[in-house]
Amino acid sequence: MRRVVIGGLLIGLLALAWYLDSLFARTLWVNNFVAATRSGDWYTGWSILWQAWPLALVGILVGGTFSLLGVGLVYGWAEEGDHEREIERLRQVAIKAEQRADQAEATALTKLQQERDVVQALQAKAEQQIQLADNRWQAATKAIGEVGQRVAQITQERDEAKRKAANATATIRRHQTRPAAK
C-alpha cells in the first residue's frame, strides 16, 4: 500500500509540475508596472518564480505544509494497512506451521506406536524363544539325568552280569576240579 501511496505522490508531483507549467505559460509577471514598461520588466514561464520569490516561498511553505500533513496521514494509513496485512499473513503462516507441526507430531506418534508395537512383538517373540530354550534346556537336563540313570543301571546290570558270570565260571571250575562222586 505504501508503494501505491509513493507512486500516487510521484504522479501527483508530475501532475502539479504539468499544471504549473501550463499556468506559468499563460501568466505574465510584470516588475515596476508603469506606463512605459520595457521587455526586461515582464516575465513568463518558470522565471516568474525567481522574480516573485516571496510569493513563491509563501506558496511553497503553506502548500507544502498542508501537502506534507496530507501525505503523512495517507502514508500512515497505508503503513497501518500494510502492517495489518503483514500481521494477517504472519498469522496465516503461523497457523499453517502449527498445522504442519501437529501433523508431524501425529505422524511421529503413529510411527512411534508402530515401532513400539514392533518392539513389543519382538520382545514377546524373544520371551517365547527364551521360554522354548529354557524348556529345551530342562528337557536336555532331564534327558541327561535319565541317560545318567540308565548308564548307571546298565553299569550295575553289567557288573551284576559279570559277577554272575564270574560266579558261574567259579562254579564250573569247582565242578570241574571236584572229582565226580558217583
The residue among 58, 64, 53 whose CA lies nearest residue 13 is 64
**pLDDT reported for residue 100:** 96
- Grid cell, residue 3, equals 508503494
- The whole-model pTM stands at 0.46
Scored b (16 or more CB within 10 A) or e, 131-149 reads: eeeeeeeeeeeeeeeeeee
The residue among 33, 49, 26 whose CA lies nearest residue 41 is 33
**pLDDT reported for residue 139:** 94
Q: What does residue 43 show for φ and ψ, rounded to 5 degrees? A: -135, 150
Q: How far apart are CA 23 and CA 17, in angstroms?
A: 10
Q: What does residue 30 show for φ and ψ, rounded to 5 degrees? A: -120, 130
| pLDDT mean for each 10 residues of the chain (182 residues) | 82 88 78 62 77 86 90 88 93 96 96 96 96 94 93 93 91 79 54
**pLDDT reported for residue 44:** 77
In DSSP notation, 56-101 reads: HHHHHHHHHHHHHHHHHHHHHHHHHHHHHHHHHHHHHHHHHHHHHH
Sign of the torsion formed by the C-alpha atoms of 159, 164, 165 and 166: positive
Q: Which residues pair with 29 in a beta bridge?
A: 43
**pLDDT reported for residue 32:** 63
